[in-house]
């Protein structure tokens, strides 16, 4: 069997976004879940920063750049699939630091990554537009120097941080598109009409995350609305932890073990880890 090179994976990943219909990119949080998802037939994987935080026993947003990059390297090595990374705000206060993050990310074997305009500052949670654009441009410039196409995703975080302003969100995505982003992403859009409006307002592929609270939207509905990539963020990690918490509470509070009836078998897990 031929092992795909990073350049091959990069081309495969780019081509997934050029289809007429949406593809789903799930978000594993460790090597085991990455292998399971690959063996289920998914075509690409993406990291989840919150899922990694939980697996390390940390609060969301507390891991360092070095820890994230080491995790990315592990996931890349776990399967032959293209892997994209959630790199939060680029892990840098300066444009030079942001650019360095994406150069280092490519060295792990990743073929894509995102940057978000969430500042981490509770008082001013979203970067001012011109600064956000400069940060996107710094990341884009870094990856365009690579010898393969690194798919760069720019995220507008308004809806996750108390700014449900569709007009501003679209203005930001359009600016990030002009700055060179390959994929555009506004997590937390409230309904299918908002998703459709975003897709009609930009010319680059749009990613939508599912698994958050809010309106239910199927893969088919999102695809028909113009979405080209669907991720699940930390929702699979949270679902797994939800089952764990319910099982532990049953044992602690009820003294029963009924949860085991829904547990995966050793054979099922072993088959998906082959």
Q: What is the pLDDT along the chain (274 residues), one digit of tens a residue?
A: 678 999 999 999 999 999 999 999 999 999 999 999 999 999 999 999 999 999 999 887 789 999 999 999 999 999 999 999 999 999 999 999 999 999 999 999 999 999 999 999 999 999 999 999 999 999 999 999 999 999 999 999 999 999 999 999 999 999 999 999 999 999 999 999 999 999 999 999 999 999 987 778 999 999 999 999 999 999 999 999 999 999 999 999 999 999 999 999 999 999 999 8
The answer to whether the CB of 152 falls within 8 A of the CB of 140 is yes
Tokens of 73: 């390297």
Sign of the dihedral through C-alpha 165, 115, 146, 99: positive
Structural domains in the chain?
6-233 (3.20.20.60)
Position 170 scores a pLDDT of: 98
Supply the pLDDT for residue 99. 98
Mark out the alpha helices in the chain (DSSP H runs): 6-16, 31-39, 49-55, 65-78, 95-107, 129-144, 166-178, 192-201, 219-224, 235-249, 266-272
Tokens for 60?
């969301």
Q: For residue 193, what are its two tokens?
A: 């009409």
The model scores a pTM over 0.95: yes
- Distance CA(72)–CA(65), nearest Å, equals 10
Cβ atoms of 108 and 72 within 8 Å: the answer is yes
**The length of the chain, given as a count of residues:** 274
């Amino acid at each position: 069997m031929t092992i795909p090179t990073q350049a091959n994976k990069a081309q495969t990943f780019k081509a997934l976004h050029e289809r007429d219909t949406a593809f789903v990119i799930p978000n594993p949080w460790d090597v085991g879940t990455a292998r399971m998802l690959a063996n289920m037939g998914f075509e690409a994987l993406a990291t989840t920063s919150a899922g990694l935080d939980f697996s390390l026993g940390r609060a969301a947003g507390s891991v360092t750049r070095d820890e994230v990059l080491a995790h990315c390297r592990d996931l890349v090595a776990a399967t032959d699939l293209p892997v994209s990374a959630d790199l939060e705000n680029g892990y840098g206060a300066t444009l030079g630091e942001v650019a360095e993050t994406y150069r280092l990310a490519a060295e792990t074997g990743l073929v894509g990554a995102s940057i978000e305009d969430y500042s981490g500052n509770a008082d001013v949670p979203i970067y001012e537009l011109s600064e956000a654009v400069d940060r996107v441009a710094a990341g884009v410039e870094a990856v365009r120097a690579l010898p393969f196409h690194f798919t760069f995703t720019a995220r507008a975080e308004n809806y996750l941080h108390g700014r449900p302003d569709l007009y501003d969100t679209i203005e930001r995505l359009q600016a990030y598109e002009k700055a060179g982003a390959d994929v555009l992403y506004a997590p937390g859009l409230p309904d299918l009409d908002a998703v459709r409006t975003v897709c009609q307002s930009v010319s680059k592929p749009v990613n939508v995350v599912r698994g958050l609270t809010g309106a239910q939207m199927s893969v088919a509905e999102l695809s028909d609305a113009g979405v080209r990539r669907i991720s699940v963020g930390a929702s699979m990690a949270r679902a797994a932890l939800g089952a764990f918490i319910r099982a532990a509470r049953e044992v602690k509070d009820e003294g029963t073990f009924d949860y085991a009836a829904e547990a995966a078998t050793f054979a099922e897990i072993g088959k998906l880890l082959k």
